[in-house]
Structure formats: structure tokens, C-alpha cells
Structure 1
Amino acid sequence: MASMNMDIDPRPGTRSSDSLMDPTDPQRRRLTSNTQAKISSDLGHVLWVLMMGRNSPFDPKLSNREACAAVIVANIDLRDLLIAENFTEVLKHPSLTVQQPRLSTLTIPELDADGAFATRQAWKAEYCGDSAALFVEALHTMNNDVDRKVYDNFFPVIQSSGTGKSRMVDEAAKRIFTLPFSLRSEDDSSGTILQTGLPFDNYPETIVKESIMKLKDVATVGHLVKFGRPLFWTPLGIDNDREVFRWKYQEEGELAAASVRLLFDFEPRRAAAAQLESRLVEGHMRIAYSVPDHREYLCSGAPSEPLLAEAAGRILHLGWRDKAVPPKIPALVHLVSETLDKGLLSKGEPSELVAKLLLTLAHDACVTTTHDAAYSQPISLLKFLEALVGEANMEIIRRAKADNVPGGGQTFEEAFQSAQINFTHFAKGEDDHVNSDEASWIALARCMAWQCANGQYMIDLYIPLLLWDEALGRFVVSGIFVRAKNRRQQQEVAIDVEKLGFFSPGGGTRAETRPYITLTLELGIPPRVTPKTQSSPATPSKLSSNEPAPTKQPVQVKETTPKNNHPRYAISIVGCSSSVYKVIGSDGDIYTRLLSVKDVVEEHPRRSQKFLDAVLRMKPYWTDGSFHWVEKIGPIRSYDIDNEGRGEGVYASAAPDDDV
């Protein structure tokens, strides 16, 4: 950068700019105020340019030239560094750096009753995003409809707290002539399309850069607030010295917190569920995505907002429930069971919901040892799995070897000694891009795990995994790939994520041989009834949870099957009880209810057999008893329970046989 002209007279007998800037020079004090202002202004411009090109956190108050000039006036040593063009030391100056508080010291304090501080600060921030422009476009589209009545031009703006509804309208008013007052009556029934698209994920700078941030840096307030609704980051960005976040707890606050953690949907066909969903949008931070034309319910959800997930974990840990709840049952388990029993949750795949619940409980067991636990901090993979299955079962996993590498390679414990996870919530993937190491490291930077798209081949969920304590990037991550099933399988089908294209090519030998974990949860609903045949009876599995299970390997067709570069460590957990899951305690029967698929018979209020038989005679579905009206000829085939499924236990992969 060229030297800066301070407009100070260089003629003989006058003092140079360098001497005037010398803090030990007594003549410095006799500078005219205009000269000092000119010097500070010029240097302030230089400092502002430097700050705008800086990647590390800096005080957002320095986002304009005037603020930079004021800092220079207050810090003489900073002024001297700028004069000397020592820009490396300038950027290290303590007056320019923001010290981010860690979540372990963060509290969730009560603010003034109406949250006025956060609101005032948000209005001071520069407006970001294009929501105001979209709002104006929606207004023009409505008014250009020639079939509408002259005064039939209203539409509501519906969205959760903190998304900037009022600020958006105010910004829109700068684009068109506006008289701000309300004309719409409460009983208005116009069919105008509702507006839900408001600012989200619109932080004004790039938040994450590959191979720059480390996992431990994720667990800072200054990082987490940058995701989601703008009211999170505007108060912190403008006044970082105050703790400004709280969770407004009311009767349904814990249910809102559970939905943030587990990503469940409500049953749209139930009026009570639709009303509950509306209340959660109105008062508990749930986001409204859209409102269908029929207006019977909202399409809403809990998108990825890491700060909200951190708060949700703390709310559930505090256990703000009435005293009737058994204290040994985690609030998260009770909430899911209670809401599902009321028919308010969308049924979906119950095995996926239970899998997310078990994995979340294991995660929380690793961080809830103190009252102010920080849910967003990294967790050792080995510690997480031990919290999931218990110490005895974990020994089986520690000794496991890869089942697709000759000789098995390293043991599980050796391969994943330094591995870490970090997820506070689940996010829904809708295409194949999420099944990649690119999406894996990005999810780690956002403290989330992936719920795969409906019908995804081979896997239902996956937890991103950082293999080594290095900066987040595609070549240092892997995953725990989860398949959850209600029934026990006669033969396990191997999960091969290399066929999904998860691993990016390149990165060197270490990156090209990254290990991964497959986790099959056979949650143990009794197998279906199948007819006996004349073939030999099936032999029950002799595997137990006391020793590793030598699983059969699929035959590899060498002509068409590529070489396995990435070692696969396969874990199977059969059953759903405290003997295989450490996180299940006295609430084991709750999981049985969660996994059961309620049908017309299960939900029939009269439980005596004669009433159930009467329902079955109407044939809501067909069973052996549905053929009572047929006279059959010949021997009657006998039916029995298929016992080929493996017994309850934890199974881990072993090295493949030499001849496979």
C-alpha cells in the first residue's frame, strides 16, 4: 500500500507527520483539532479497509470509517502502527478483537418482559436479504389481479418470532408509498395468499470456510448465532457484551424444544394437531413454511438453528415439567410418548423416530454431567457409543475389525481413537448431495446430523464424524450410517456407502482410506407369522452379546466389484431394552409403544376379544381368520413364528474369511 499523505506542511522549520505522531513528542499536543481530525479520518479509512478484508472475528461496531477513526483517536499505539504501515500488528491489536464467550459459561437470562433490548438492537443493524423486495413483489402481484375487488387487497404475514416481520414491512415501505395503519377486520375471509417468506440464514458474511475452522471453535455463541433467524445475530453483533437470549417457556415450551431436537412432524389430519402446530409457530419459535390454499393447517417445521437447539437441550435437561412425571424417565422420552399417544404426531417410520431418540439421549448423556452443560461441544466417538450401549457391550465394539478389508486391519478402537461427533439436532436431506463428505463437514460446523430423504437407499440417518483433530474439511470426515428397522432381519444386508459416492476422490492416501461405521438398529418387533414348509427347520442364531459376531460377508464378484478402499466397521444392535441400550432405563415399555404401528384394532376402545373379533370380521385387513366363510379341502397348513432372526444383543463385524 502506498504511503499516506497527511496534508502536513513538509517545509523546513515545520514538524514532520512522523514526529507529530510520536506519543513522546510534547509538540503533538499542540496540533490543531482540524489536523488531528484529518489524520484520524485518513487512518480510519485505511483501518476500515483492513477490517473488511479480515476473516477472524472483529468488533461489529467497526463496520464504518467513523467508528474506525474514533478507535484510532482512543488508541495512540494503534495510530503509530498504522503510520508505520505495520498492518500485521494492526490486525492483532486488542482494541479490534472480539473475545467470543464459550457456551460452557453462557446462561439463558430473563430479559425485560417484552425483550425490548434485542428488538431495539435488531432495528439498528443494517437490513440484510431480499425478503422486503419479495414482499413488495407479492403486493404488486396481488394488486395486478384485475378480477379482485377494489378493496380486497389484504394478506397476512405469518411467521415465527425473531424472523423480522416488522422490519421487513418497514423496509418495504421505503420502496413504495405507504400509510401504515390496519384495515383488516378479525372476521375477514378473503382468499389472499399468505406471506411466510422472511429472512433466514442471511448473515451478511461467509460463515464457514473449508479447512479453516476447527470443531472446538463451533461451540461459541458468536458462531451459533449466525445461523437461522436474524434476531439471533443482530443483538450479539451490535452489543456482544450482553447476554441477550432466552427461551420463552410456557405450557408447550418443552414440546417445542423436543421438536427442535428430533425433527418430528405433526399429524395434519387431526384438528388438535393443527391447532397445536399453530400455537407453536405463534409462541414457541416454530417456523411456518407455507399455508395451503385450503387454510386448514400450516406447513411448518423446525429448520436447523444451532442456537435454538442448544437452548432446547438445556430446557429439556432442566426438566420443567409437573411433578406427576416419573423422575427417572427423561423429559424427551416422556414428551414423544405423550404426544404420540394423543395422536398428534405424524406416524411416519416409528423406527426412525426411536433411533433419533436413542442417539440423542446417548449424546446428551455425555454432556449433561453439570447443570450448565454445553450441548454444542464436541464429544468423543468412543464415549458416545459407550453411553449408547453400555460398558460391557462397548467392549465388543472396541475389538471389532473391518469386514471388507483382508485381515480386518485396525481394531475399531485403534481406527477411531481420535474421532469426534457434534450434533444437537437433525436436519432433513432431500437429495443425494447430503450423502457426501462435503455435507458431512458442513453439518459438523452447524452441529447437526442428517435424516436422509424418504426412501433413501440403504440408510435412514447418518451422524457426521471428524476422524482427526484438524480443521473441518471433506478429507478429514466420515460418518456413522444408521439403518433403523422395526423387525429383526433374517439376513443382514451390508451397507456400502462407497456405492453412494460418499467419499470425495483425492486428498492423499490417508483420505482415500478413511474408515466408516454402519449401525443397524433391529429394534425387535416380533417377526411376522410365516407358513411352515417341508424344508429343514431354521436353526436359531447362537450369537450372543458376549462376543463379536462373525457376520457372513456377501460374495464379491471380482470382475465387476471395485476394490474397497474405505474400511467398514459394521455394528448391529438387536432388540430395544436396557440389556442393549444403556440409555433405556425403567421406561422400556414406552419404546415398545412407540414402535408399535397403531391400526384400527389397536386403537379400538373396547379391548375384549369378542369386540375385536367383530371388527376383524369387517376385514380392515386379511388374516388367517378372514377365511372362515370358505370350506377347504385337504390338510390344513400350520403356521409358526419365524425364528431365524438373531437374538437380542450387540454384534460387531469381524475380519472377512480368507476365501471370501
Structure 2
Amino acid sequence: MSLAPSSVKRQRGKDSVDETSRKRSRSPGAVTDSAGTTHPPRQEILQGTPETKQDQNAINFGVILLHGLVGMRQISVKEKADDMSVLYARWLQEDQRLYPLLRHVALGSEKVGVDSATLKEIQALIDQKQNKEEKQKHESVVDSVAMQTTERAWGIKFAGNSLARLLARVEDIAKTDEGVYSKILPIVQSSGMGKSRTVHELATEIFTIPICLRESKDSGYPYGDADMVEAFRLIFKDTPIAQQKASDNDKASDNDKASDNDKASANDKESAKAENSGDKNASLARIPKAACVALFRNIFSAIWDELRSREEPPPKVTPKVTPTQWRSILEEVDQDRITVRKKIYERALASFRKDMSCNDNYKKTTQYSLEMDAMDMATILENIINRTDTGTNTTKVVMYFDECHHLSTRHPIIEDDSRTALDFVCYAMDGCRIPGMVGILLSTNSVFSHVSAPSHIVTSSREVSQGPPNFRPTPFVHLDFDAWNGRSIIEEGKCSIQKVCSLPFLARFGRPLWWTRAESLKPNQHDPIPSVAKHELVTFAKEKLSRTAVETDVATNKAQLYALLSTRLCLELIPMSRASRAYADKLVADHMAVAYHIPNHKEYMRVGYSSEPLLAEAAALLLQVNEREDISFHPATALSALIRDKNFLTKGDRGELVARYILLRAQDLALDKLRSSETPENRIFDNSVPFSEAVPLWTFFSTLFDKHLNILSKAKPRNKEGGMPLKDACNRKYVRFNHFARAGDSSILSTAAAWKAFARANGWQCYDRQEAIDILIPVVMADSGRTKLRRKVMTFIVIQVKNTAIAQTVHFSAETLGLFSDLVDLPEDIPYFVIVFNLGVTREKDNSARPRQPPPSPAKVTTRTPTAARKHNNDPQPNGFSCYWLEVVGCSSEVLNDKIVSGDALRQILGTRSIFDEASENEQESILRLKPLFNQSAVSFSWAKESNGYEDPNLDESPDTDEEFQVTDNNMISNPETLVSASKDSDNKLHKVPQEEDDILEELHDIQGVLLSKETSDYMQY
């Protein structure tokens, strides 16, 4: 029995102990185990080079360990673990070269009579400690790699047009002065869209005062300004400010420390006295408006001091500072690697603390003193503006707060004040009120209603008093997407299929986060970090999408589940209710949804999941992990529960959604089949992105319809006599899609759009008004992975989806759709493939009367046979491109792969399960009596009696024969009591046990307007 880790055995061999390591081993001295036995130092056990003596010493070493375990069996597990750590820490953990000796523990066990359970405990303790250390080491490396990768990505050259759009928007705001908070622009967008980087680049055009409120525990980038974070904690905190320790004391000199401590001590006593007297205005913290104004004034003063310190002595004239120069100044570092930006905010915080603790004027802040402070703040800011070169821009200075969501969750100390720290920051920024000043608020997690609230929920009294309209600017959301390196991501005929299936290429698409990180991973002989970080890129994407490092939480987090499914299946969330608006906010804040647009009324924002193949890859991996770890989790069941909970799809949309799911699920299962059976030579793949691999077309079809391969493999083109079988037609053709993208018009019906979609790994959901088809999947015709992507090598799988109770017949062809019309040199033939899904079918199309109990749902897969002539003008033409036509009826495991379908989940999404499908046979008739619908059963029309078909020519002239219910000329009931008595009489008659059908029919002549009982209806025939 061997207890050594396998990796160690491979490295060191079975019995070998490095002679050199014996000479270098350092003995820590004797060790006493839990049994009280003192054992010799480690080096004594290791001495002796002969193999036999080495084995004997190893056995003795095992005996020593086992003696210790035997003695520890009588004590607790914790004590055992602690005692074991004495042996392992001093004998093993210091030198992994001793691990091979542990295989001899089994030999020594016979000498002390230790059972196998004890040996397992030894192994468990060793594995647990080793795994824990390896995990901690790995996590430490990953965190370090992630941070360094992020820093490197931040240094990638900025690309795209978001800076120009933001600058134009800021300029428009600077030119207007409409009302309160009209100069404060929120930027709301999900993580990785480039908010922080764009504003950072704005500093090259406009003089900028940057403040990042990122918490120290947050691993994001850029790093937070800790001094500013501390300043806001001082203002918006439940405990008295004077009790907080000054963070800048650690950096001050000893004399300064003593002085500050004396002041803090005096302030503590004064604050305590004020608290005891109940004076709520005893400190500046009780007046958040004044506190924010004072903080801003100190920030501006520290900046002004920095600018003045760089002036040339007279008579030299110091040139004005440009925005780019100022950004460079802030990034300068001293010999201790401390930036100028850090020093400025340290000085601002220190001055702010002194204002709070020493200035008696703040103890009784009035509106007048508040306005005076605001004027001082504005004056200092004007001095800064005059000292800078702002060029021709109307905007002279921008002050921005990154990660401002931290302010939206903090409240002032005054208990009855419902406003947040963000409200008071906006007040202070608006208080500057100088021409050319614009404030910007941005955050990954900002809920935009906190930043730019609609008119009916504003908290500012000044804003309420000015009345509508609300002058707060609409949040800026229009950042760059697909702006890889400022160049085209792919050029037709230049990229091979093998290349587009790789991780670096996949990362080019979508938000800047992916491609900048991928660019930072390029090999560098002086920097080993990229080689380690490359394997973490997909993991990073998974964590960003799920907002957690625990990959198996999907089933319990509906927002996370929606994010994973929507990323791949192109769900659409319509913000029509308050709940859906809050849901949309959460998806943007936590789960990478893209904010597309916010209307001027700011009541809601339009959000969704754009086509991002790397994010879709991450979603696929997360869903796979949950399916493997949780036997009760199935994507179809999860999707059904999500749709049922949110209820945001029409019936037509549901059919298309189910079709998208079926196709995508088949693709995933086909990839599993490839990984388990195919050789690498027959695959076009990158192991780091397993769900973005190209799948052979026949593998895809055989996975989708695994029970119908005999029919499919022999299928011929429906419009060609003597065409090749479907299986042969699929040869050297591949499909590749890990998500669906939504089309906005019919332009995607072309080979030009097809090769681009293949490169992006997406299938197409056709636009709402597209005729004939609903889904389009590109197919590439390739001899190998070296085939270059271009129009000439593309064909299609065309999908039509029907969600009706009766199978529908459709008519279209490649020619009528114009699929290949953009090809310059048309080949003689290009095979294409059609799948018609009749998913909602519950009965065959016929004109016969339906039986009382509906038959099971039809389930079949058929192919259209070759025909010499067309049956419809839009059908595939005999002289057209070869068309392989598959028709699928039903949506069950009879037609689809068992792993695609999960019980009735897909039928529930389709909405084809009626209330009768969920009821027993006895319950169905009771339901029919409640008239949810009318059918040909006796129960539906039991309230009326039909004639025998013959009628009196003078029937309309004859009087009514319904004696129990007479109607007057003015259509009023002449004798209501008659109806009551008739009803009672009818009840008595209906309680008789029926004997013959004729007798019952005769009795019914005298009973009108009363529902028939179950006994009667059983005998009624129509």
C-alpha cells in the first residue's frame, strides 16, 4: 500500500532518496509524539546508503508515525490534527523529498498492529494538508496573475470611438445651464465595457480630477484612492467621527504624530461632551452638506498647492499645464513608489480632519456659512482653471467619481435623513456652479435610478421646487463594442478555420475587457506571467458572468441563471413592470448584461446580452459544471422554470426559443461526443474553449436525431433525382455556434453574413418579420482546418419553426430566399439543409371528428422524397441547389436525443400542455363543465337540445313551447317564479336513475335552461 502522492512517486521513483538531499538535510532535533515517545532526529533515520539499510530505516520511520497515531486515537480529531502537525511540519512538510518514505508506513504497520482505517487517516491528513497548501498557492498565483494581467491590459493602447462620443456629450452639458444637477453626467454600463478607461482617456482632453472609491478588498482596477474612501467613511458613518484614527498618522513624523494625537484626544473629549449634551450639530459629520463641501475645498486646495509648487521662480513665466501634462503629473512616483495623486489626497484628508476637529465654525453650521464655504471652494477651482490650458473646449475641468455605487449605499449619521452619500456629493459638485465645470459619476454596479433619478422620485428639495422637467442628464451608455485594437477583427479570406476557433481570436469580440486582457497575454521572454494567466482567461470570464467563484450556485440564483441562458439563447427582457426594471438593473450591475439605451424620462433602461462568444463559452462551461455536479439540474428544466417565473415570451417566441435550445443543446452534446471518440486529427478545436469548436455536420445531425439515423443517412435531396445520400452530403462540412445572435433585417440571408457568423461562433435568430424561416445556422465546407473563411465555402442549415396544434406545410427554397445571391461565381451545386420543426403539434391534420380522449402527441422525423416537379412555386426547384429537407413533428424524446429533452420541460415552454393534459380522466369532464372551451363532447353543449333536422315551415309563426320560460314582447321575463319552480322540478327529475335512452330523451323535452348531469351526458349522442 502506498501513501505517497502519485506526482511525487513519478518524480522520485519508488525507493530512491537523493543522496545529495541527505547531505543537505537540516535536522530540527528530536521529536516527541503524542504517545510520549521521543524519536531520533530526522537525519539519523536517513543515514546509510545501502538499499537494505535505507528500507529498514524507512520502515522504522513508519513505525514511529504509527506509534504516534495509536497514541492519538484516544484524543479528539482536532488534537490529532494538531499533534500530527508536529511530526509532519518538522519531518515532512519542510522537505518534500521525504514523501517517498511514506510508502513504507504500510510495512511498519504490521509491527504495531494498526488497522487499515488508521492508514487511511494518515493518507487523508497528508492529502488534506498537501491539497490545502497547493490550493492556497494556486489561488495566490491566480490572484496575482489576475491583477498583473489587468494592469497590463490597462496599458494596452486605447482604441475605439467612445472617447469622442463622451467628449461630445460632456461638451453639450457644459454649454447648458438648465437647472439643478444639470452638470452631472452619470455613466452606467456593465463591467468591462471601458467606463473607467474612457474617462481616464478623457483626461488627455480636459483637466480632470479623478477619484476612485474602490474598496481595498476589491481586486478590480484601477485601484481605489484609499484616502478618499476614508474621507467618506468619516462623514457617513454611524459612530462619532472623532473616534476614528487618522490613517495619515502612520506616515507623519514623530512630532506630527504627537501633535495630531493631542488634537485627537482633545477632540474626543469635546465630542463626548457634545454627545452627552445631545447637541446633534456638535461635529461636521452631523452636517453632511458642509462636510462634502469642506472635503471638496480641501481637495481643490491640495491640487492648487501642487500646481503652485511647480511654478518657475520669478521672473520666469510658467506655462499653463495641459490636460495631458496634468495626467502625467498625477502618475509620477517617488523613490518609495508613491504617486503624486496619492500625496495630494493624503494632504486633502489630513486638512479635512483638522477642519472637522479644530474649526469651531463648523459646530454651528448655518446656511450662510455653507454658502460661504461653497464660494471658497468655487474660487479655488477657478484658480486651478486659470492655471491650466483647456484649449478650445467649453469644458474646463471634469471631476469624476469611479465606483460611485459605494456612495449610494451610505447614509448620513442623522437617522431621519433618507438621502445617500451620493446625494450630498451631487450637492457639493453642483455647488461649484462655475462655467465649464462638469461632474461625472460612473460605476460597474451603479443602479442608474440612484444616479439619475426620474422626476417623481428625486430626493433633492431644490430639484423638487424647480418642478418638471427633470434636468439631470440621461446616463451615458454608448461605449465601444467590437473595437479590437482599432482594426478589423477579421478580413475575408485571411483567417483559417483553425485560427477562428482559438481563444485569442474569440476574445477579440465584444467588450474591450476581453481583447485587452488577451493582448496582454502575448509571450514576453522577460515576463512569465502571460503563460500562467492564459489559462485563467475563461475562468475570469466565468467569474465575471456569475459574480461568484462558486460555479454550482446557478440553480439557486435566478438572475445568474437568466444571465447564463440569455447569453447563449438570446432571451429578451421587456421592462414593462417595476419588477422587470429592477431585474434589468441587477443584470447590468452583477451579470454582464449590456445597457443599450435609457430614454429621456429615465424610467427604465433597455438591456440585453449581446453577441460575445467568449462570454457564451463561459456560460456553457458553468451550465456544464452544474449539470455534472447536480443530478437534478437540467438546462431544459431550468429554462422552463425561468420562463414560467418571468413570463415574458409570446407563444410564437416560445417556439423559436425551444428550437434555439434544441439546436444549441445538440451542438453541445456533439462536442461531448467528439471529445470522447474522435482523434485530434479529425477535429478543429482549441482545448481552452471547448464549446467553441467546429463540429462535423453529420455528427451534429446524428446527435440531434440519434434514433432516426437509418432514415437520415439515406435521405436524398427533395429536388434532385439520383442525388447523394445526406450522410455523404455532410462530408467535410462543419457547424460552429456556441450562442445565437438576433438579426435586425433580412441581410443575414447571405453567404457574406454566414462566414462572419461562423467566425463569431453564432447562429442567427431571424428578425420578427422575416418570411418563411426563423433560424439560420452557417455551415462551412472545408477540407481541413487551414481552409480560409470566405463566402465561397459557406452554406446553411435553414430552420422553420411552428408552434401550432396541427402540423403546417411550408414552402421556400434557397433561390426564393436569395441565400447564395451574393456569390459572384455560382458553382454548379451547393447543398443546403432544411429542418422544419412542428413543435407544438398535438394531433394530425384531418377533418374527422376528434375522439373524446385525444391521442398521444404525434412524434416523427421524415424526409421529403425527390420529386421531378414542384408542388408549389416556392418549393426547391429541380434545377436549383440540392435541398435536404427534414420535417420534425412533436417535441419529445421520440424524435430528439434523450439528453436534449427533459420530461415535459420543453412542452411547458411551448405552452402546448393544456389544462386537460395535466388533469385526470375524471377531472377533464368536470373542467369542461366550467366552459374553458367548447368542443364536440356532450358536456360542452349539454345546455341545448337539437331537433331531428326536420322543421315546420310555419315554425317562426308558432308560439313558444317552452312552458317554464316565457318571454314577453319586450323581452322581459313575465313570471320569474316559473323559472325557479321549473328548476326545482328539473332537479327532481334529474335525480332519477336512467333506464333507457329513449326515456331520458323524452324527459329532456320538458327541461330547458338547466345543465345536464354527468349521468345524462354519458348517454347523449351528437
Confirm whether residue 462 of structure 1 aligns to residue 776 of structure 2. yes
Q: Which has the higher contact order (CA 8 A, sep 6+)?
A: 1
Q: Aligned in 2, Cα 1:145/1:178: closer, same or farther, shift over 3 Å?
A: closer
Letter in 2 for 1:340: I
Structure 2 counterpart of 1:365, one-letter code: L
Question: In structure 2, what is the Cα distance between the partners aligned to 1:195 and 1:202?
Answer: 18
Aligned to 2:760: 446
Q: Match of 1:367, as an amino acid?
A: L
Does the 8 Å CA contact 1:436/1:503 hold for their aligned counterparts?
A: yes
Per-residue CA deviations over 1:37-61 (Å, capped at 9, x if unaligned) read xxxxxxxxxxxxxxxxxxxxxxxxx
| Cα offsets for 1:122-167 (capped at 9, x unmatched) | 3211111111111122223334445x11642223211111011011
Q: How many residues align?
A: 509
Distance change (3 Å), C-alpha of 1:585 and 1:479: closer
Name the aligned partner's letter for residue 458 of structure 1: A
Is the Cα contact below 8 Å between 1:290 and 1:298 reproduced in 2? yes
- CA–CA distance in structure 1, aligned partners of residues 638 and 945 of structure 2: 50
Q: Does structure 1 residue 341 correspond to structure 2 residue 644?
A: yes
Structure 1 position 184 matched with structure 2 position 500: no
* Shift in Å, 1:283: 1.3
Q: Name the aligned partner's letter for residue 563 of structure 2.
A: A
Indicate if the aligned counterparts of 2:503 and 2:689 stay in contact, CA closer than 8 A: no
Distance in 1 between the 2:896 and 2:566 partners? 23
Which amino acid letter does the alignment assign opposite residue 461 of structure 1? I
> 2:204 — aligned with what?
174
Tell me, in whole angstroms, the C-alpha distance in 1 between the residues paired with 2:176 and 2:928: 58
Pair 1:493 & 2:810 matched: yes
For the Cα contact (< 8 Å) 1:164–1:230, is it kept in 2? Answer: yes
Alignment of 1:359-508 (within 5 A): 359-368=663-672, 369=675, 374-390=690-706, 392-405=707-720, 407-469=721-783, 470-487=787-804, 489-490=806-807, 492-504=809-821, 508=825
Letter in 1 for 2:156: A
2:475 pairs with 191, 194, 213, which one? Answer: 194
- Residue 63 of structure 1: aligned partner: none
What is the aligned counterpart of 2:517 among 221, 235, 239? 235
Change (3 A) 1:238 1:490: closer
**Residue aligning to 1:521:** 837
Counterpart of 2:821, as a letter, is S
SS in 2 for 1:413: helix
Q: Distance between the aligned counterparts of 2:586 and 2:563, measured in 1? A: 10
Q: Say if 1:556 and 1:339 are closer, same or farther in 2 by CA, change over 3 A.
A: closer
Match of 2:777, SS?
strand
1:419–1:466 CA contact under 8 A, matched in 2: yes
Other-structure match for 1:256: 563
Determine the structure 2 residue equivalent to 1:3: none
Q: Which residue of 1 aligns with 2:161?
A: 130
What aligned pairs does 1:138-149 form with structure 2 within 5 A after superposition? 138-145=169-176, 148-149=178-179
Q: Deviations over 1:32-83 (max 9, x none)?
A: xxxxxxxxxxxxxxxxxxxxxxxxxxxxxxxxxxxxxxxxxxxxxxxxxxxx
Query: How far apart are the structure 2 equivalents of 1:355 and 1:518?
Result: 13
Alpha-carbon displacement from aligned partner over 1:10-36 (angstroms, at most 9, x marks no partner): xxxxxxxxxxxxxxxxxxxxxxxxxxx
CA distance 1:614–1:174, change in 2 (3 Å): farther
Select between 337-346 and 512-521 the one with higher mean Cα deviation: 337-346
Q: How does 1:558-637 map to 2 (within 5 A)?
A: 564-584=879-899, 587-596=902-911
Give me the whole-angstrom Cα distance separating, in 2, the residues matched to 1:492 and 1:210: 37
Do the aligned residues in 2 keep the contact of 1:427 with 1:450 (CA within 8 Å)? yes
Matching of residue 160 in structure 1 with residue 190 in structure 2: yes
1:513 is displaced (CA, Å) by: 1.1
For the residue of structure 2 that corresponds to 1:466, the secondary structure is strand
Alignment RMSD (CA, Å): 4.0
Give CA deviations for 1:276-309 in whole Å, capped at 9, x if unaligned.
2221211111111012344343211111111111
- Aligned residue number for residue 77 of structure 1: none
| Partner AA of 1:525 in structure 2 | V
Structure 2 counterpart of 1:570, one-letter code? W
Asked if residue 225 in structure 1 is aligned to residue 256 in structure 2, the reply is no
Query: CA shift at 1:211, angstroms?
Result: 1.9
The CA deviation at 1:313 is 1.1
Aligned to 2:586: 279
Kept in 1: contact 2:719–2:876 (CA 8 A): no
Partners in 2 of 1:374 and 1:481 — Cα distance?
25
Question: What is the CA–CA distance in structure 1 between the aligned matches of 2:620 and 2:901, rounded to whole Å?
Answer: 22
- Give, in whole Å, the separation in 2 of the partners of 1:354 and 1:512: 35
CA distance in 1, matches of 2:144, 2:926: 55
Amino acid at match of 2:503: V
Judge conservation of contact 1:601–1:615 (CA < 8 Å) in 2. no
Match of 1:375, SS? helix
In 2, Cα distance between the equivalents of 1:530 and 1:388?
29
* Cα distance in 2 between the residues matched to 1:179 and 1:272: 35
* Seq. identity, %: 27
Relative distance call for 1:580 and 1:468 in structure 2 (3 A) is same
- 1: CA distance, partners of 2:894 / 2:914: 29
Per-residue deviation at 1:417? 1.1
C-alpha contact 2:185 2:475 (8 A) present in aligned 1? yes
2: CA distance between counterparts of 1:549 and 1:557?
Answer: 14
Q: Distance in 2 between matches of 1:616 and 1:149?
A: 60
Q: 1:319 aligns with which of 619, 626, 648?
A: 626
Residue 243 of structure 2 is matched in structure 1 by none
1: CA distance, partners of 2:624 / 2:141: 18
TM-score, normalization by structure 1: 0.68
Q: What per-residue deviation string (whole Å, max 9, x for no partner) do you get for residues 358-386 of structure 1? A: 11111111223579770111101100111
Shift of 1:219: 1.6
After TM superposition, the structure 1 = structure 2 runs for residues 268-307 of structure 1, keeping only pairs within 5 Å, are 268-307=575-614
Task: Please tell me the residue identity of whatever aligns with 2:654.
Answer: P
1:350 is aligned to 654
- In the aligned structure 1, how far is the partner of 2:649 from the partner of 2:811? 30
Unaligned runs of 5+ in 1: 1-106, 534-539, 637-660
Matches of 1:500 and 1:547, distance apart in 2: 23
Larger radius of gyration: 2
Structure 2 unaligned runs (5+)? 1-137, 207-395, 402-424, 428-449, 459-469, 523-529, 549-556, 677-686, 850-854, 951-1022
Listed one character per residue, the Cα deviations across residues 309-353 of structure 1 (whole Å, up to 9, x for unaligned) are 111111111117985x61xx53x2232112112125433511111
Q: Which amino acid aligns with 2:205?
A: R
Shift of 1:565: 2.7
Q: Deviations over 1:595-642 (max 9, x none)?
A: 106999999xxx98899789868xxx9989999999988869xxxxxx
CA, structure 1 residues 175+110, in 2 after alignment: closer, same or farther (shift >3 Å)?
same
- The structure-2 alpha-carbon separation of the partners of 1:274 and 1:527, relative to structure 1 and needing over 3 Å to count, comes to farther
Contact 1:506–1:512 (CA under 8 A) maintained in structure 2: no
Alpha carbons 2:870, 2:878 under 8 Å: kept: no
The TM-score, its normalising length taken from structure 2, stands at: 0.45
Aligned partner of 1:208 in structure 2 is 490
